Amino acid sequence: MDNEEKLGHIHPLTRVIRRTNEIFSEMGFSLIDGPEIETEHYNFDALNIPKDHPARDMWDTFWLKPKSKSEIRNTKSPPVAPERSDGGRGETNSKLEIQNSKLLLRTHTSPVQIRYMENNKPPLRIISVGKTFRYEATDATHEAQFHQVEGLLVDKNANLSNLKYVIREFFEKFFEEKIELRLRPSYFPFVEPGVEIDISCFKCGGDKCSVCKQSGWIEVMGAGMVHPEVLKNVGLDPKDWKGFAFGAGVDRLAMLKYGVDDIRLFYTGDLRLTNQF
Amino acid sequence: MKISYNWLQNFFEKKLPDAEKLADLLTMHSFEIESFEKNGNDFVFDAKILPNMAHHCLSHKGVASEISAILAIPMKTASVSLKDAPVGKTSSKLEIDVSDSNLCRRYVGRIIENVEIKPSPKWLKDRLESIGQKPINNIVDAANFVMFEIGQPMHAFDLDKLNSENGVVKIAVKNASAEDSITTLDGKSVVLDENTLIISNGKNPLAIAGIKGGNFAEIGKTTKNIIIESANFAPSLIRRTSRRLNILTDSSKRFENEISPEKALKAMEMMTSLVMETARGENTIIGDICDFYPQKIIQSKIEISLREINNLLGTDIKSSEVEEIFQRLNFDFETKKGGENFSVTIPFDRLDIKIKADLIEEIARIYGYEKIKEQKISSVAKPISINKSFYYKNKIRNFLAKNGFSEVYTYTFTDKGEMEMENPIASDKNFLRANLKDGIKKSLDFNLHYADLLGLEQIKIFEIGKIFKDGRETDYLAVGIMNSPAFKGGKEGDEIKNISDALSKDLEVSIKWEFSENGIAEIDFEKLIESLPTPESYEDIKIERYDVERLKYRKISPYPFVLRDIAVFVPQGVEENDVASIIEKKAGNLLVNKKLFDVFVKKFPDGTSKTSFAFRLVFQSQEKTLSDEEINKIMEKVSKSLNGNEGWQVR
């Protein structure tokens, strides 16, 4: 047995996450963590997704039984302090709201945007990568647990054309191919305008193949300009600050990059997968 | 939502682009057309209408308005020609009593007497059938047509089933009482409660407001006189109620997404016209419109400057271009300061446009996102902060991988723990894991089955991930080892100790496992790194090989693998590789793994020394379960080829 065979293997999701962090850190984005158990406030309300709004349907949610709630509140988790540091208007109310907020498994990494902006002054550039959960039936392309990467840039003059630049840079480095972006109108309550981002197929370059399902394009990311309401929620004046945010599925990126055909393989602890990497 | 191409075409004089082109235009400028298919001489689009577009686009007219803006072509106000019908004196009178105008913001009602219930004319049936709706009768079909044409849900009641006093029929919009129940149009009995808004007449609930009609005053063959409802209900009420009762309808979908109360009257006029066209009898009389609308909606205005638009988009759009886009969107606007500022009046339908950013999105999508050029961001304003946890996780990953451990990710959901979900995805996945060791154990057992396929005598794995206990979530690290019977080295527990000591040395921190038994150990990762310094860069945790080697996944075969051992004596000087390459060549691509498991030298009576190489071969197909026969054939070929060499002998 030679040395190579004695080596262990790093999980493909870890590889994707590391590479993602490398690319974004070169562009000045810091990696920030957030809790997997979130409050309804951070996962929804603060992101401009109010209760009883149809937008909630876009995120099928696992709710936690209340028993765990009182316990959680008295500990140091969540790791990022939820209280606002600037003592803005309506603080008492929002604190109360946060405390009474129901607990859930975060459905996206977007709450990290809020947690970070509450405690850090712009200009800022962050990404966050982590496990997320959706209450949905599993199949080859859907898992109830998966990973997301989230990015946020807030600056005096951030604009949509900057977003285009950052995202294209990322995908070109990630897939190691020349990439074109295609933005389509979409809707996420925490951004406005909101877009869906497709990349030109890294495999066929747009000539149509099985990877892009014969379309030449691959849907990879949701993005947009940070909604003024979200900025207000963290005490920033939308007149002074603009931002853009984006989010993508890590699992999907790994599946595309390595040609893995079933998302569930990532979580079965199966070395027949890991040991190929 | 299903959209008919022909229905859309009826809004335009000009021929629309073909279905494929239209689908593409809508996807690029309005909302995603997920698919479209031919349906006779029509095409049906399946559109993904998200909540921001749902106020106006859950209707053919709304979609037509998008097309009108995208293509800059004029559209008609309706896809059918509508005639005004004179109002007459009906024998019954309608009275509407709304208990809470926050829940029912508008209620337009009208009596029409002496209608003739019959099947709808062909054009109407065709329209409804084109989007998968079943025609019922002329009145119900007209109501459905109005909903799919302009997005206003309508309802019709049989007037003669209702109580009246001195010719006055009272319709109340109020909360149900706890004893109420209703049998819906599809025959389901629904128990109501005080949180449910209903349409009622005397003691009889007629409909669950905005959600579903009841069968009590259903329009049937014998219906002569009708009441038509065109109302507007509060979105959150409808959403809550329809979720609680688990009744989702085309009507509830439109109301929960919110539609403008301004639509209700126009819808009533359209409905009336359609009734007169399709159900007119000899003495049909149209009653007065009863309109409860206490708080008339005022159109909103948004002031915006050219600068604000270009700043947010990073564009150089000209004033004249913005004006043209507003015109195409059919927005009334005033230009101020020589084209620098605009004051835009937002159409009633466009409830999604509330702030400047909403308006900028309108401009961007009609202008075309493809025209927005890239702009580099400034170079790093401040140095990135290094994520200590991420750094050490990856340092540990690298260390363990170097020492033969492979990384696994296991499930967060399990059947025991401290934190339970209200809505688990399965009864054995109702808790969040309170340790990593159970997942590691499962993974070890699982992978041991595949040890030969993997070419391993030991399964060595690790995981770093969140666990949930003592009321909080914590990052944990777990390692696990399981030896196969073939393994000749030391015990699992000893190896855990060794790796632990080595890791401890590498990190310069002491490691005290919280749990360590039978080759599995785990530890609080956060505590482990607590005393370690925060690094200054990620430089030494890079993955080598990422760029140099293009990794590609090879599909895991769902079929069983088959083992065969083969040993061969070869003359001195023949190397392992010489034997291996012959085996590989002859065994073909069903051979997925091979491992040398035994080597020894034997002196033969004739004085020569020969080396024995013993290989374990693993066969597996991507397409089928391999039979013994097939493998035997391959093995024969391999043996024959090996024996064909001078002095070689398969044992």
User: Is residue A145 among the annotated active site residues?
Assistant: no
**What share of chain B has pLDDT > 70, as a percent?**
98
For helices B60-71 and B19-29, what crossing angle results, to 10°?
A: 90
Displacement of CA B183 from its chain's centroid (Å)? 33
**In chain A, positions 80-109, which contact chain B (CB-CB < 8 Å)?**
105
A186 touches chain B (CB under 8 A): yes
CA of B461, closest CA in chain A: separation in Å? 8
Contacts of B385 in chain A (CB under 8 A): 30
Tokens of A244: 């853009």
Residue of A nearest to B53 (CA): A187
Cα–Cα distance, B606 to B34 (Å, whole number): 78
Residue B219 has pLDDT above 60, yes or no: yes
User: Is residue A191 among the annotated active site residues?
Assistant: yes
Residue B642 has pLDDT above 50, yes or no: yes
- Residue among A244, A232, A198 nearest A217 (CA): A198
User: Is residue A245 among the annotated active site residues?
Assistant: yes
pLDDT tens per residue across span B478-506: 999 999 988 888 899 999 999 999 999 99
Contact A53 B236 (CB under 8 A): yes
Structure confidence at residue A100 (pLDDT): 67
Per annotation, catalytic residue among A134, A147, A227, A252: A134
pLDDT tens per residue across span B116-139: 999 999 999 999 999 999 999 999
User: Is residue A148 among the annotated active site residues?
Assistant: yes
Cα–Cα distance, B122 to B103 (Å, whole number): 38
pTM for the whole thing? 0.90
pLDDT tens per residue across span B408-428: 999 999 999 999 999 999 999
pLDDT tens per residue across span B296-311: 999 999 999 999 999 9
Cα–Cα distance, B205 to B192 (Å, whole number): 10
Q: Where are the alpha helices (DSSP H) in A27-110?
A: 40-43, 67-73, 91-100
Residue of A nearest to B308 (CA): A239
Average pLDDT over residues A87-96: 39
User: Is residue A46 among the annotated active site residues?
Assistant: no
ipTM of the complex: 0.90
Contact B387 A184 (CB under 8 A): no
Structure confidence at residue A70 (pLDDT): 45
Average pLDDT score, chain B: 94
Q: In what order do the strands lie in the sheet with B649-650?
A: B591-603, B609-619, B562-571, B649-650
Tokens of A221: 């990311």
Residue length of chain A: 277
Place of tokens 């647990």: A145
**What share of chain A has pLDDT > 70, as a percent?**
86
Contact A8 B596 (CB under 8 A): no
Cα–Cα distance, B35 to B55 (Å, whole number): 22
CA of A93, closest CA in chain B: separation in Å? 22
Tokens of A77: 């988790």
Q: B192: Cβ–Cβ under 8 A, 6 or more apart, which residues?
A: B176, B177, B178, B180, B181, B182, B198, B205, B208
Q: B422: Cβ–Cβ under 8 A, 6 or more apart, which residues?
A: A62, A63, A64, A65
The number of CA neighbours under 13 Å toward the Cβ of A92 is 0
- Residue among A65, A62, A64, A41 nearest A51 (CA): A41
User: Is residue A113 among the annotated active site residues?
Assistant: no
Cross-strand bridge partners of residue B304: B342
Residue B238 has pLDDT above 70, yes or no: yes
Per annotation, catalytic residue among A41, A84, A106, A108: A108
* C-alpha dist (Å) from residue B411 to A106, A230, B260, B430, B541: 15, 32, 46, 12, 26
Highest mean pLDDT among B28-37, B447-456, B531-540: B28-37
